[in-house]
């Protein structure tokens, strides 16, 4: 059974930051399902990442991936030079040919950018979004989210061994994990941290850190403050203020 709150999040039109996270919810559910705190904190990271890779493959089969050498794939490849191994983590970047303005990441270093987002933004802003997604991976937001989902869903929980590894999951379970990554609902603090990470990373790469701010402004202009990728949670004004402070600290 999918917890009701999670289901509501999965059903939300907004992606990426569309749902207010309730940090207490998953923990309480885990306890009510009999998952001990010890097990919840010792779920093997390597196993979670391997599961993320399987879910990523499943997502790639479900979506239309821009073929190597195509304009979108070439543009993304050029933008992500120097990021395919970053901070000790390998990243795998691909474009989904879909009009939706979206991007998402998974714990194994999967980053997928939709062509709709690449059409909506110039290079520096697309790169800012990519750095934001890399932040969710490096700051373990994607890992924590998948871990919590596995430990709070009865069907997934059954696949977790005492040692904290994850057994074979069905194709539909992997699809469910992948879809959860697309509809990621990170907390307000996680989003602000990922923005800060993007500001620092852009600066480290020799790019303008304010590209992160401009990416949010682009989305604000397109979707307004009430909806759309990146825009509603936390409020754009709060994010922009946070980005300005992070850039001032560089
Ligand atoms: Zn985010």
pLDDT, tens digit, 9 for 90 and up, residues 71-129 = 999 999 999 999 999 999 999 999 999 999 999 999 999 999 999 999 999 999 999 99
Report whether 34 contacts 249 (CB < 8 A).
Answer: no
pTM (two decimals): 0.82
Q: For residue 193, how far is its CA from the centre of ligand 1 (angstroms)?
A: 9
Structure tokens at 33: 């399902």
From the number of C-beta atoms within 10 Å of its C-beta (0-12, 13-18, 19+), residue 104 rates as buried
pLDDT, tens digit, 9 for 90 and up, residues 157-189 = 888 887 788 888 999 999 999 999 998 888 889
Phi, psi of 246 (to 5 degrees): -65, -40
Q: What are the start-end ranges of the E strands in 18-127? A: 85-86, 89-90, 92-96, 103-105, 110-114
Q: For residue 134, how far is its CA from the centre of ligand 1 (angstroms)?
A: 9
User: Any idea which residues carry the catalytic annotation?
Assistant: 133
Q: For residue 189, how far is its CA from the centre of ligand 1 (angstroms)?
A: 10
Q: For residue 141, how far is its CA from the centre of ligand 1 (angstroms)?
A: 9
Phi, psi of 66 (to 5 degrees): -60, 125
pLDDT band at 44 (very low <50, low <70, confident <90, very high): confident
Q: How far apart are CA 71 and CA 74, in angstroms?
A: 5
């Amino acid at each position: 059974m999918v917890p009701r709150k999670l289901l509501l999040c999965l059903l939300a039109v907004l992606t990426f930051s569309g749902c207010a996270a309730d940090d207490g919810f998953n923990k309480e559910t885990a306890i009510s399902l009999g998952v001990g705190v010890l097990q919840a904190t010792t779920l093997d990271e390597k196993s979670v990442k391997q599961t993320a890779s399987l879910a990523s493959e499943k997502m790639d089969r479900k979506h239309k991936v821009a073929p190597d050498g195509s304009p979108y794939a070439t543009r993304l490849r050029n933008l992500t030079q120097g990021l395919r191994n970053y901070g000790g983590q390998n990243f795998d970047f691909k474009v989904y040919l879909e009009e939706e303005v979206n991007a998402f990441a998974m714990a194994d270093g999967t980053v997928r950018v939709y062509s709709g987002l690449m059409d909506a933004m110039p290079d520096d802003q697309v790169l800012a979004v990519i750095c934001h997604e890399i932040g969710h991976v490096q700051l373990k937001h994607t890992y924590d989210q998948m871990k919590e989902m596995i430990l709070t869903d009865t069907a997934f929980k059954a696949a977790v061994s005492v040692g904290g590894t994850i057994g074979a999951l069905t194709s539909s379970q992997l699809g469910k994990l992948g879809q959860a990554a697309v509809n990621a609902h990170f907390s307000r603090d996680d989003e602000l941290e990922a923005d800060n990470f993007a500001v620092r990373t852009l600066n480290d790469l020799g790019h303008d850190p304010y590209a992160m701010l401009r990416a949010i402004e682009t989305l604000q202009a397109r979707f307004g403050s009430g909806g759309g990728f990146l825009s509603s949670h936390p409020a754009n004004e709060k994010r922009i203020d946070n980005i300005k402070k992070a850039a001032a600290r560089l």
